[in-house]
Structure 1
C-alpha cells in the first residue's frame, strides 16, 4: 500500500507542490480583502486544487501504462482501489490544512478576522470534492483510465452542479438544529452526505475493478 501511494505521489509531485503554493498564496490574498465572498473563495481554492491533483493520478497512470503494469505485480486489486481513495483523502486533508494555516496566519499575524462563511466554505468544498471522488473513480474504472481526463471534468461539473442543486432544495426544507444557523447546517449536512456517498462509491469501485478486464 505504501508503495502504491508513493508511486501516486511521485506521478503528480510537481502538481501537488505548485497547487499547494498557489492555493496558500491565493488564500492569503483573498482573506486580506476581508470580503465574505472572497473569504469563501479563500477556503475553497486550496482544497479544490489539491483534490484535482489527486484525480490527476489516474490520467498519469493511463499515459504511463502503470494501470496495466501494476496488475502484474503481487498486489491485490482491492489494494489498488484503496490506494486511490486513500491518496484522495490525504490530499483533501492537506488542502484543508493549508486553508486553516492561511486562516490562522491572517488572524494572529495580520489581525484580520475571516468571516464565519470561511468555515462553511471549507465544508462545502469538502462536500464538492467528495462528490467529484465518488463520480470520478467508479466511472474511470468502468470506462477506462484513457478517458480519465474527460471523466474528471465531468466529475467537477457534477460536484458543482450537485452543490447548487442541494442548496436550492435545502431552502425548501424546514429543518432547524439549535446552535447552528441555516448556512452551517447546510454545509455540514452537504459534507457528511457526500462523504457517505464517497464511501459507498469506494465499495462499488472495488467490485467494478475486481471484474474489470484489461
Structure 2
C-alpha cells in the first residue's frame, strides 16, 4: 500500500511542487487584499488546486504503462484503488494546510478573524475538490486519459452545479438563493464527501472489469 501511494506521488511530484508555489503566491496576495470574499475564494482555490494533479498522475501511469504493471502486483485490485483515493485525500489535506497558512497569515498581519468566511473557504474548496475528484477519476478510469483536461473541466463545472442546486433547494430555509450561506456550505460539503466515497466503490468495479490494451 505504501509503495502504491509513494508511486502516485512520484508521478505528480513536479506538479505538486508547482501547486504549492501557486498556493503560496495566493497566500501572499491575500495579505494585500484583505476582503472576506476575496480571502474565501483564495482559500477555496488553494484547496482545489492540488486535485488538478489527478489527471497528471493517471496520464503518467498510462504513458509509463504502470497501470498495466500494477495489476500484476501481489495486491488486491481494491487496494490499488484505495491507494489512489488515499493519495487524493492527502492532496485535499495539502490544500487545507495552505488555506490555513492564508487564514493565519492574514490574521497575524491584519487581525482578520471572520471565522464564517474562513469556514466557507474550506467548505467551498472541499466541495469543489472532492466532487471533481469523485467524478473525474472513475470517468478517466473508464474512458481513458486522452481528454483528461476536458474531463477535469466538466467535473469542476459539475461541482459548481452541485453548489447552485443545493442553494436553490435550500432557498425556503435560507430566505434566498445564497451559495455562501452556512447551511448551503455544510450540506454541499457533506454531499460532496458522499460523492467521493461512492466514487471509490464505483472505481473498484470499473477497475475490476477494465481490460488494458
Q: Give the structure-1-normalised TM-score.
A: 0.88
Q: Deviations over 1:49-106 (max 9, x none)?
A: 1111234211221222211121122232111111111100111011001111221122
After superposition, the Cα gap between the structure-2 partners of 1:165 and 1:78, relative to the gap in structure 1 and judged at 3 Å, is same
User: For the Cα contact (< 8 Å) 2:141–2:206, is it kept in 1?
Assistant: yes
Aligned length: 207
* Match in the other structure for 1:123: 123
Q: What pairs up with 1:135-150 in 2 under 5 angstroms?
A: 135-150=135-150
Deviation at 1:153, TM superposition (A): 2.5
- CA distance in 1 between counterparts of 2:139 and 2:59 reads 13
After superposition, the Cα gap between the structure-2 partners of 1:68 and 1:148, relative to the gap in structure 1 and judged at 3 Å, is farther
* Match in the other structure for 2:154: 154
* Match in the other structure for 1:167: 167
Extract unaligned runs of 5+ from structure 1. 177-181
Q: Give the structure-2-normalised TM-score.
A: 0.88
* Match in the other structure for 1:179: none
Please state whether the residue corresponding to 1:128 is helix, strand or coil.
helix
- CA distance in 2 between counterparts of 1:114 and 1:12 reads 34
Deviation at 1:157, TM superposition (A): 2.2
Extract unaligned runs of 5+ from structure 2. none
RMSD between superposed Cα atoms in Å: 2.0
* Match in the other structure for 2:205: 207
